Structure 1
Amino acid sequence: MKKDLPENIVEDIAIAVALEKESVESKLWYVYVINLKNEPIENVLITSKGYGEKNGEQVKTSILRHMIPRIEPGGFALIEPIDEQTFGLANEYWLSYYIGKDIFDKKFIFLPESIVESNFIRLPQLNKPGVMIR
Structure 2
Amino acid sequence: MKKDIEIPKVEDVYVAIVNEYNDIYKTQDWNAYIINDKEVDLDVVLIVTNGYNDEKITSVFRKKLDKLPAKSYAKIELMQEALFALNNQFKVTFFEGNQMFEKTYLFRKNTINLKALQPVPLMKVKGVVVK
Common fold by TM > 0.5: yes
Taking the aligned partners of 2:119 and 2:10, their CA distance within structure 1 comes to 22
Q: Please, which runs of 5 or more residues in structure 1 have no aligned partner?
A: none
Aligned length in residues: 129
Taking the aligned partners of 2:28 and 2:118, their CA distance within structure 1 comes to 17
- The reply to whether residue 81 of structure 1 matches residue 78 of structure 2 is yes
Query: What displacement does 1:4 show?
Result: 1.1
* 1:111 alignment partner in structure 2: 108
Q: Please, which runs of 5 or more residues in structure 2 have no aligned partner?
A: none
Paired letter, 1:123 = V
Taking the aligned partners of 2:30 and 2:83, their CA distance within structure 1 comes to 11
* 1:90 alignment partner in structure 2: 87
- What do you get for the CA RMSD once the two structures are aligned? 1.7
- The reply to whether residue 16 of structure 1 matches residue 16 of structure 2 is yes
* 1:28 alignment partner in structure 2: 29
- The reply to whether residue 7 of structure 1 matches residue 4 of structure 2 is no
Query: What displacement does 1:102 show?
Result: 0.5
Query: What displacement does 1:7 show?
Result: 3.0
Taking the aligned partners of 1:112 and 1:6, their CA distance within structure 2 comes to 31
TM-score (structure 1 length as normaliser): 0.90
Query: What displacement does 1:27 show?
Result: 2.8
- The reply to whether residue 38 of structure 1 matches residue 35 of structure 2 is no
Query: What displacement does 1:61 show?
Result: 0.7
Paired letter, 2:72 = G
State percent identity of aligned pairs.
Answer: 29
TM-score (structure 2 length as normaliser): 0.92
**Equivalent of residue 123 in structure 1, options 120, 124, 128:** 120
* Secondary structure in 1 matching 2:59: coil
Q: Please, which moves more after superposition, 77-86 or 119-128? A: 119-128
* Secondary structure in 2 matching 1:87: helix
Taking the aligned partners of 2:118 and 2:48, their CA distance within structure 1 comes to 24
* 1:100 alignment partner in structure 2: 97
* 1:67 alignment partner in structure 2: 64
Contact 2:86 2:110 (C-alpha < 8 Å) held by counterparts: yes
